A and B are shown apart, each in its own frame.
Chain A
Amino acid sequence: MNESIIFNSPLLLVLYGIALSFFLFGLNSRSGKIIYLSTAIVVGTSAYALVIGATLFETAVVVVIFLIINLTHVGKEKDGKDK
């Protein structure tokens, strides 16, 4: 963890935080475009992390965290029914 580029870089953490915020906002406002924007930010930030020296594994871990967040937040319609 001490050698982690991602967890020791404030810029990367802020960018991932922005991506997460956009995701939650997009989910709340039922906007697919904002969710796609969040994904684009994650992908871009991960690519930047790799460029500045993050390992493939630690980048994969962050991507999997976002994957898990998406898997646990597949939304329901307002009337509570699954689509």
Chain B
Amino acid sequence: MNFNSLHFLLFMPIVILLYWLTPGKFRWMLLLVASYYFYMSWNARLVFLILGTTLVSYCAGIMMERTKKTGLKRLYLIIAVVTCLSVLIFFKYFNFLSRSITTFLNLFNLKAGEFTLDLILPIGISFYTFQTLSYVIDVYRGKFKAERHIGYYALFISFFPQLVAGPIERPGDLIPQLKSVHYFNFEDFFCGLRILAVGFFYKCVVADVLGVYVNNVLNNLASANALSIFIAGYLFATQMYCDFAGYSEIATGTARMMGIKLTTNFNRPYLSNSYSDFFHRWHITLTRWFTDYVYIPLGGSRCSLARRIFNTFVVFTLCGLWHGANWTYVLWGVFAAFCLSIETSLKKPLARFLNKMSIDTSGKTFYACRVIFTFSVMLIPAALIFRANDLSHVGSIFSTFFTSWGFGTDYFSYAMNSLGLDAFGLITILLFMTAEVLLWQYAEIGRCGKPEPLPFDRRGNTISTQRTVIWIYTVIAVMLCWLALLATGDTSAFQYFRF
């Protein structure tokens, strides 16, 4: 059940309606059934995996709290972590590891035969596994009391808005909200509707439309040049953001309509003024997870520069691998670690140099230059690596990029033909991306809980009227683009569903 499917568009309002009609203390049952139904709509058999993960971690949490012996506590933690990670590694990485080992052995002419299994990647396994690990580790550390109610705990793991692609919630943030009784609140409900509409706009209007032009270039490099690759990289970076942020907004909006506030997962990442700033704005919950459970236990930043760089490479290699069973993701992680290490190493020398040159680093111009540099030099190449099908595709993309420079109108026309962009297409993209940028502010209205005028304010307030009108236009644009792409077969599942 994709979020951008008719099935979900029927499922969601029914669940929300039933939620508000159900007495408070029974709502967890409704949400649990709905969440498992949502999961089973992808593949019913795989529900046993999430069920098994839930039961193991639930028992481990309770056993850890009951025992006073540190060694036994650690044993329960290890059992839970190994069990959850084993499931993830087996389903996600078994074939990848097998193929990689075979390829490696064949390099030495050892003629190893490939052994793979016909495995289905369980949807959302990376996300709910990390959420489970977060719970058992927090209970072990004493940061969170083990949840005794199996129903609430199972709901925490399987809550359908954030089940398949995050945000990765902490038990301390989500479980109390699931347990408390929420009363219908117009402000929360309409805030949720706004966020939901913006999420669908990001996905159906921006991401899926841009994806068509990106695929024209990156799936057909023979007819591409450097300019078209650069533009495709830029469009893919936007597509990826809108796809993933769109999903997060749909999840957030859906939960908000039930009075539940999910963690913000994106904060205008392409306004980052450095690569480290980018990771504080992009997939925030994943960054925090790796920071709290991998980077800091390794020593974090409170160690020598060499050790800090080592920690960074470990974290980002794992982060890359988390995204998928492909060496391109590992390369992406290594590239990210490399950029971050360069930034860390050069931060102080660069600051001293700029100070000596009397360059004002606090001004808007300098900030803008940093944003443009970060995006063009770091984020676009990273996006191209991320998008590539395999390592040889990465090589093809960059070799085409560096060997096909040119100038002039013919060169520009060739790039546009390669993208499949005519004048109308160019205007369409520019308009859609402008709306995407402006809609961010609209989605922020009321997100942080500040009271806002209701959309149907009878005082005739034009601001609240416009907000309603914006919502209407957003929904209409979503419907038109979704139908248009459906007709041409260009709609796609959310990219992060693959992880």
Interface residues of A (CB under 8 A from B): 1, 4, 26-27, 30-33, 35-36, 38-39, 42-43, 46, 55-61, 63-68, 70-75, 83
B359 located at the interface, meaning its Cβ lies under 8 Å from any Cβ of chain A in the complex: no
The count of A-to-B residue pairs whose CB atoms sit within 8 angstroms is 95
Q: Do B462 and A31 have beta carbons less than 8 Å apart?
A: yes
Q: Do A35 and B480 have beta carbons less than 8 Å apart?
A: no
Interface residues of B (CB under 8 A from A): 205, 423-424, 427-428, 431-432, 434-435, 438-439, 441-442, 453, 457, 460-467, 469-470, 472-474, 476-477, 480-481, 483-484, 487
Q: Do A75 and B463 have beta carbons less than 8 Å apart?
A: yes
Q: Do A70 and B469 have beta carbons less than 8 Å apart?
A: yes
User: Quick one: given A39-B469, A71-B438, A71-B442, are A63 and B462 in contact (CB under 8 Å)?
Assistant: no
User: Quick one: given A68-B438, A75-B462, are A35 and B484 in contact (CB under 8 Å)?
Assistant: no
Between A and B, 13 residue pairs with Cβ closer than 8 Å are: A31-B460, A32-B457, A32-B461, A32-B462, A35-B466, A56-B484, A60-B477, A60-B480, A64-B205, A65-B431, A71-B438, A71-B441, A72-B438
Q: Pick the most buried of A32, A38, A43, A72: most chain B CB atoms within 10 A of its CB.
A: A32
Q: Which residues of A contact B476 (CB under 8 A)?
A: 43, 46, 60, 63
User: Quick one: given A26-B462, A57-B480, A83-B461, are A39 and B435 in contact (CB under 8 Å)?
Assistant: no
Q: Which residues of B contact A59 (CB under 8 A)?
A: 480
Q: Which residues of A contact B462 (CB under 8 A)?
A: 26-27, 30-32, 35, 75
Q: Which residues of B contact A30 (CB under 8 A)?
A: 460, 462
Distance from A53 Cβ to chain B, minimum over Cβ atoms (Å): 14
User: Quick one: given A32-B462, A75-B462, are A57 and B469 in contact (CB under 8 Å)?
Assistant: no
Kindly state the separation between the CA atoms of A39 and B463 in the bound complex, as whole angstroms. Answer: 14
Q: Do B432 and A64 have beta carbons less than 8 Å apart?
A: yes
Ordered nearest first, which 10 A-B pairs have the shortest CB separation? A32-B465, A56-B484, A60-B480, A67-B473, A71-B438, A32-B460, A56-B480, A83-B463, A63-B477, A39-B469
Q: Which residues of B contact A71 (CB under 8 A)?
A: 435, 438-439, 441-442, 470
Q: Do A70 and B473 have beta carbons less than 8 Å apart?
A: yes
Distance from A46 Cβ to chain B, minimum over Cβ atoms (Å): 7
